[in-house]
Structure 1
Amino acid sequence: MSTRPEILYPLFAELETLGGIGPKSAKLFENLGVTRPRDLLFFLPHSGVDRRFRASVAEVTPPATATVEVTVGRHHVPSARNRPYRVELTDALTTFHAVFFHGNPDWISKQLPTGQKRIVSGKVEHFDGIAQMVHPDHILKPGEADQIPDFEPVYSLTQGLTQKAVMRAVGEVLTRIHPLAEWVDPTLKAQEHWPDWHDAVLKAHMPHGLDDLSPHAAPRRRLAYDEFFAHQLTLALARSHMRRGKGIATVGTGVLQAKVRAALPYAPTGAQERAVAEIVADMASGQRMNRLLQGDVGAGKTLVATLALLIAVEAGGQGVMMAPTEILARQHLESVRPLAEAAQVVVEVLTGRDKGAERRAKLEALKAGKIHILVGTHAVSQDDVEYRDLRLAVVDEQHRFGVAERMRLGKKGQAADVLVMTATPIPRSLSLAQYGDMDVSVLDEKPPGRKPITTSALSTSRIGDVVERLRSVTASGRQAYWVCPLVGESEVSELTAAEERFKLLRAALGEGVVGLVHGQMPPAEKDAAMAAFQRGDTKVLVATTVIEVGVDVPNATIMVIERAEHFGLAQLHQLRGRVGRGSEASTCVLLYQAPLNESGEKRLAIMRETEDGFRIAEADLEMRGAGDLIGTAQSGLPKFMVGDLEHQAGLMAVAQKDARKLLADDPDLTSPRGEAARVLLWLMRQDEAIRLISVG
């Protein structure tokens, strides 16, 4: 089925087919992410107004909404233009005023004729000791009272759009939906007490009270699950598509790996051994490997990746390792080369800097199979880069790299296996949303000999003490990082902040002791500054956050983070992980500007309590929400309209399991439930998935 099912046509028509929506209001709806009638189904109310009947406005505590029956009294017509028009209204217990600014007297006297009974509903406030209702939302005759809902849903708006307009549009879309065949697993549906899809949509838009607006309300959980399930089905299809692409069984001899293991100063951790075993099994299976290696800072991902690359070489093939930046690519080279040399394996680097004859020579050697392992930036996946027999692609620091790039790199070999490494511990729900098409290995142990890092928080007023401490540390030959603040809206740029700090430290610690690296430097200068610090020529490196990922200087034992309250938890954790890489005890100093706000205080407290990246990531998710956590814009994390990864995290794991099982039982989605799932994919605009089924 590669055309949209007919039952969904009305939901994918133009918005202007809804009454009351013209080109102008269609534009306004677009600001809310609503471009088709279907989007309104998942555009749920975020709060509501209690409009149940009261005997009197005296029963509510202002400011609050009340709906009461009144007898209309005197009209006070304003004497001056800027005075409001007031009408006295008497309910069962008290008299209050209806107030109209710039009101039309004819309209008001028609709506509220003196001596008659009316139902009014609106917000009650106190003014000069008298209760008043400014511009009532509803004024009706007693027989029309049922037009006011007991609980009125409230939708997000954009300038120029009213609640009435949104409610009218939603109301019309709700008349266009029909019951659809069920795609949710029947056992799960019964267990969760979920309504049918059709009922869930109606109930979600017609809440009876605040409880119905909670992410835990059954209709909302059901609709969130539908979104997660469609997303996981797409990832599962991509995964089975990748696996169906013929893989090559890559079986190592173990000879080269044994040489590297013999050269190691310590034994690998249990977690490293487990990850290597999972990779060995994947590579030997003859199906394409698509695995995520997730490990906290310093958990030893490089060793696991190197052993995996050696399996490819042992089997007579080649491996490539790809990093997002030049600095990281060169650093991987530094880490991999000594290990590979122990096994007489040829490692070469390729970045955007390679030009002309030098680049051509590398490409020829690669094509001839004389280079066993290539390390580089995305230059390694360009069209003219040909491998003799690429078996394994290792991709570092995933979130700059979406599903599409993973697939492109995988296509370089006949059917290269793909191993993705990330040093960003991601809470389980997010990693499933982002990497649901992959199998995951987690490194959750630190290699032996790594000392814990002492973390302290100091107010910026004590910066002098910190500089003194650096003086004694550098005198004894150790090194330190000083990370400058993320400057937000102030006049100074991050660059100015870093340069100012650099001058101050250079004046305090002496010429030649302090280096500077920031994002606006030309790459060659940046590399030179990093290299000088890595060699130990400079003792203190002043940096903006460019050093966040992957820089490895074992002799650096102090990390100072200035204005730490401006950084997110994940970033603080990444930065702290730059120290504690050698045998010496290390310290991280979080400098903050007092007074701290509540969330700043909480973040610094978590950093002092734990070094466990996964715990920190969970706390970060709780505090900031999913979108901010990975910076949704560049994360490849999908946007969900109903699904809420903080409060409904458990559903994502269920959705992944269910989607994989459905595809295992029914790979072409032709069973009744499979057909229903296809309709869901169309409903959720999962075009990628639909393409994969029709290619199937």
Structure 2
Amino acid sequence: MTGRPEILFPLFGALTKLDGVGPKTAQIFDGAGINKPRDLLFTLPLSGVDRHRRASIREVVAPAVATVAVTIGEHYPPKTRGRPYRVNVTDEQTSFQLVYFHVRGDYLQKLLPTGQKRVVSGKLEIFDSIAQMVHPDHVVTLEEATEIPAFEPVYALHAGISQKLMYRATRSARAMAATLPEWIDPALKKREKWPDWHDALAAAHSPKSATDLSPHDPARQRLAYDELLAHQLTLALARAVIRRAKGVPSQGTGALSKKVLGLLPYRPTAAQTRAIAEINADLGSQFKMNRLLQGDVGSGKTLVAFMALLAVVESGGQGVMMAPTEILARQHLEGLQPLAADAGIRLEILTGRDKGQQRAQKLAALASGEIAILVGTHAVFQKDVIFNDLRLAIIDEQHRFGVSQRMELGAKGASTDVLVMTATPIPRSLALAQYGDMDVSVLDEKPPGRKPVQTALVSTSRMDEVVEKLRHAVAEGRQAYWVCPLVEESEFIDMTAAQERFKQLRAALGEGVVGLVHGQMPPAEKDAAMARFIAGETKVLVATTVIEVGVNVPNASIMMIERAESFGLAQLHQLRGRVGRGAAASTCLLLYQAPLSETGKRRLEILRETEDGFKISEEDLAMRGAGDVIGTAQSGLPRFRIADLERQTALMATAQTDARALLNDDPTLETTRGQAARTLLWLMEQDKAIRLISVG
């Protein structure tokens, strides 16, 4: 099947084919990201209104929605303009008023003829001790009363679209949906008691009570699973294509790595040893490696990465390590240089700063294979950078590099293995959503010698005390970072805040003790200020942003974060990870401005309770939502209409296992279930995945 299956055509047709949708409404829908009947099907109600018929309004406690049959009494048109139009009505037990503003009298005479019976439904309120219903939502004859649903679904609205229209349009879209073949594994479906696709849609759009609106309701869960399964099938297909791509097996001899490990002052952790073994197995296989190395702050990713680079060098190839910024690239260089010296191999850095003769010499040494390992920024992408035999590309901080860049880099070497490193612990559901096409290695223990960091919360009202304590610490020869608050509006305010704090600390601690870095400084000045701090000439470094502090200063053992409540959890965790790298016991002070909001307080308390980045990221996800945790704009996170990554983590994991198992048994999706899975991919607009099958 090369194109979209015919059974889905109606769902991908024009919105104007739906009941009540004209060209104008279709345009409004389009603005809300709904441009075909399929999109409406997957726009589920957010809440519902109980419109069960009652004998009298006495059965509800105002303010509340009531639905009752009434006999229409006297009309009271307004005496002056701007006053309401009132109509007396009586149910089985009592009378009340229907109230309308700015409505023509002749229209209301027709809608509510005196002496006749009607069913009205709307919000009942008490005003001046009179029960009244302002602009009822429904006014119908007794025969038409069945049209009012007992529990009416409420949709998220876009200006210009009413609930009535949404109700009609979604019903009409449902009528267009054919019964589709089942793509879910029968055993799973039975175990979870999930309905068929068609029935699930009907149930989700016609909830009977509030419990039917929960993400754990079987109908909603099934529809969420469909989305996740389509997404994971796409990633699994991409993974299968990569795995089919022949790699060059790089079987390390172990000579260099033995030498380096023998010279280390400590032994690698069990997690590091496990990750090294997983990577070596990938490098040695004839398939291309596509692996994510996830490690918390200070879990020792550098050593694992270097062992992978050594394995390809031992087998006669070259490796490259890329970082998003020059500061980070230079940091990798500093971390790797001593290890390369131990191994006796040539390691160089290439960034945008390399010019002329110097650059030409490096490029020549790279092309001849003299340079075994290259460290750099995205400058290594440039056309004139040619490797002798590039076998392994390591990318640091994945979320700055898109999938397309991952592929571009892979194209540099005929069959380059790719290892992506991230220091941002990502909750499992997000890792699966974002990196489901990759195999994952996790470093979840700290290397020996990393001391825990004491974390304390202190109100800014105790600033004088804090500065006094800092003075004592500096006198004892300790070094500290002082991170200034993040001011969203402008870098200029950030800068001013930092300069003010710098002046105050300089006055308190003495000339030459305090250094300053902020975003507006020329790079050379920034580097110089950093260098003075690294060398221990300055004892306190005042800094604005997190990134600038991405350096390794083992002697720095104090981290002050001013207005900590203005930072995200992940950022605070990363900042705290800058201390605790040396022999001294380290502390992190979170200075907050009282009063703290409930969530602000919870965030800072989580940091005080744990240093486990994975635990922190799970909490962060629960508090902020998926888009915020990794910054959706550049995250490549899929947009799900139904699935909820925060509450349905387990579903995502099941979908990954299921998708990989299905492709393992049926790589070209030819079986009955495979064909149904193709229909699912078309339904979920995963055309990319369909193309991947045809590539196969």
Contact 2:491 2:519 in 1 (8 A): no
1:627 equivalent in alignment to 2:627: yes
Match of 1:481 in 2: 481
Query: CA deviation digits over 1:564-597, x for unaligned, max 9?
Result: 1122211111111111111111111111111111
Q: CA deviation at 1:452?
A: 0.8
How far is the alpha carbon of 1:19 from its aligned partner? 4.3
Matches within 5 A, 1:67-106: 67-106=67-106
Cα pair distance change 1:507/1:375, threshold 3 Å: same
- How far has the Cα of 1:625 moved from its partner? 1.4
The residue type equivalent to 1:5 in the other structure is P
SS at match of 2:73: strand
- Residue 292 of structure 2 aligns with an amino acid whose one-letter code is L
Alpha-carbon distance in structure 2 between the residues aligned to 1:368 and 1:662: 45
**1:360-406 alpha-carbon deviations (Å, 9 max, x no partner):** 22111111101110001111123322111111111111111232222
8 A Cα contact 1:519 1:546, kept in partner = no
Q: Which digits, 9 at most, give the CA deviation of each residue in 1:415-455, with x for residues without a partner?
A: 11111111111111111111111111111111111111110
Which residue is 1:357 aligned to? 357
| Unaligned runs of at least 5 residues, structure 2 | none
- Structure 1 segment 602-681 matched on structure 2, within 5 A: 602-681=602-681
Match of 1:214 in 2: 214
1:48-447 to structure 2, matched below 5 A, reads 48-447=48-447
Which sits farther off after the overlay, 362-371 or 22-31?
A: 22-31
Within 2, Cα distance between the matches of 1:328 and 1:577?
15
Distance 1:406 1:40 in 2: 35
Q: Go from structure 1 to structure 2 and tell me whether the alpha carbon gap of 1:206 and 1:69 turns closer, same or farther (over 3 Å shift).
A: same
Q: Give the drift of 1:525.
A: 3.4
Matched position secondary structure for 2:343: coil
Q: Check 1:518–1:387 CA distance in 2 against 1; reply closer, same or farther (3 A cut).
A: same
What is the distance in 2 between the residues matched to 1:491 and 1:298? Answer: 29
Letter aligned with residue 589 of structure 1: L
1:242, 1:369 → 2: CA distance?
A: 26
CA deviation vs aligned residue, 1:315-342 (integer Å, no higher than 9, x gap): 1111110111111000000001111111
Shift of 1:672: 1.2
Q: Which amino acid aligns with 2:70?
A: V
**Counterpart Cα distance in 2 of 1:549 and 1:441:** 26
Q: What is the CA–CA distance in structure 2 between the aligned matches of 1:23 and 1:484, rounded to whole Å?
A: 53
After superposition, where does 1:456-495 map in structure 2 within 5 Å? 456-488=456-488, 493-495=493-495
- Partner SS state of residue 294, structure 1: strand
| SS of equivalent residue, structure 1 residue 371 | coil
| Whole-angstrom distance in 2 between the partners of 1:603 and 1:74 | 60
Q: Deviations over 1:254-279 (max 9, x none)?
A: 11111211221111111111111111
* CA contact 2:546–2:571 (8 Å) conserved in 1: no
Q: Secondary structure at the match of 2:71?
A: strand
- Cα 1:23–1:525 change in 2 (3 A) is farther
**CA–CA separation in structure 1 for the residues paired with 2:351 and 2:63:** 64
| Corresponding residue for residue 38 of structure 2 | 38
RMSD of aligned Cα (Å):
1.6
**Is the 1:215–1:221 contact (alpha carbons within 8 Å) kept by the matching residues of 2?**
yes
Name whichever of 17-26 and 300-309 sits farther off. 17-26
Write the distance in 2 (CA, Å) between the matches of 1:650 and 1:235.
Answer: 17
C-alpha contact 1:548 1:578 (8 A) present in aligned 2? no
How far 1:489 sits from its partner (Å)? 5.3
- Distance in 1 between residues matched to 2:356 and 2:76, nearest whole Å: 88
Does structure 2 conserve the Cα–Cα contact (< 8 Å) formed by 1:557 and 1:586?
A: yes
Moved more, 272-281 or 498-507: 498-507
Q: Pick which of 396-405 and 429-438 moved more.
A: 396-405
Aligned partner letter, 1:272: Q
Q: Partner residue of 1:574?
A: 574
2:394 partner letter: V
CA distance in 1 between partners of 2:495 and 2:23 (Å): 45
**Counterparts in 2 of 1:170 and 1:271: CA distance versus 1, 3 Å:** same
Post-superposition offset of 1:492: 7.0
Asked whether the 8 Å contact 2:491–2:520 carries over to 1, the reply is no
What letter matches 1:16 in structure 2? T
Give the % identical residues: 68
Aligned amino acid, residue 398 of structure 2: Q
Give the conservation status (yes or no) of the 8 Å contact 2:546–2:575: no
CA distance in 2, matches of 1:251, 1:295: 25
Summarize deviations over 1:173-197 as a string: whole Å, max 9, x none.
Answer: 1111101111111111111111111
1:318–1:391 contact (8 Å) kept in structure 2: yes
Q: For structure 1, list consecutive stretches of 5 or more residues without a partner in the other structure.
A: none
Worse-superposed segment, 524-533 or 575-584:
524-533
Q: Distance in 2 between matches of 1:271 and 1:507?
A: 47
Aligned residues: 696
Q: Which moved more, 1:232-241 or 1:396-405?
A: 396-405
Query: What secondary structure does 1:545 align onto?
Result: coil
Deviation at 1:157, TM superposition (A): 1.2
Aligned-residue offset at 1:465: 1.7
User: Which stretch shifts more, 331-340 or 4-13?
Assistant: 4-13
Distance 2:490 2:464 in 1: 24
| Residue 527 to residue 20, structure 1, CA distance change in 2 (3 Å) | farther
TM-score, normalised via structure 2 length: 0.97
Give the drift of 1:692. 1.2
For 2:131, the aligned partner's letter is A
Give the deviation of 1:115 after TM superposition.
2.1
Does the 8 Å contact 2:41/2:173 carry over to 1?
Answer: yes
In 1, Cα distance between equivalents of 2:548 and 2:491: 24
Contact 1:257 1:343 in 2 (8 A): yes
Tell me the CA shift for residue 490 of structure 1.
8.7
Q: Judge conservation of contact 2:543–2:549 (CA < 8 Å) in 1.
A: no
Secondary structure of the equivalent of 1:58?
helix
How high is the TM-score relative to the length of structure 1? 0.97
Describe the SS at the equivalent of 2:146. helix
Find the aligned partners of 2:383 and 2:613 in 1 and give their Cα distance: 37
Give, in angstroms, the shift of residue 563 of structure 1: 1.1
Offset of 1:37 from its aligned partner? 1.7
| 1:155 maps to amino acid | Y
Tell me how far apart the structure 1 counterparts of residues 7 and 88 of structure 2 sit (CA, whole Å): 53
Question: 1:286/1:522 Cα in 2 relative to 1: closer, same or farther (>3 Å)?
Answer: farther
| Alpha-carbon distance between aligned partners in 2 of 1:491 and 1:667, rounded to the nearest angstrom | 52
The answer as to whether partners of 2:215 and 2:221 remain within 8 angstroms in 1 is yes
Which amino acid letter does the alignment assign opposite residue 481 of structure 1?
Y
Question: What displacement does 1:23 show?
Answer: 4.2
Task: Determine the C-alpha separation between the residues in 1 that align with 2:637 and 2:652.
Answer: 13
Q: Give me the whole-angstrom Cα distance separating, in 2, the residues matched to 1:423 and 1:296.
A: 5
Cα separation, 2, equivalents of 1:664 and 1:403:
23
How much has 1:199 moved relative to structure 2?
1.3
SS in 1 for 2:546: helix
The alpha carbon displacement at 1:646 in A equals 1.4
Whole-angstrom distance in 1 between the partners of 2:428 and 2:435 = 10
Cα gap change, 1:466 to 1:315, in 2 (>3 Å)? same
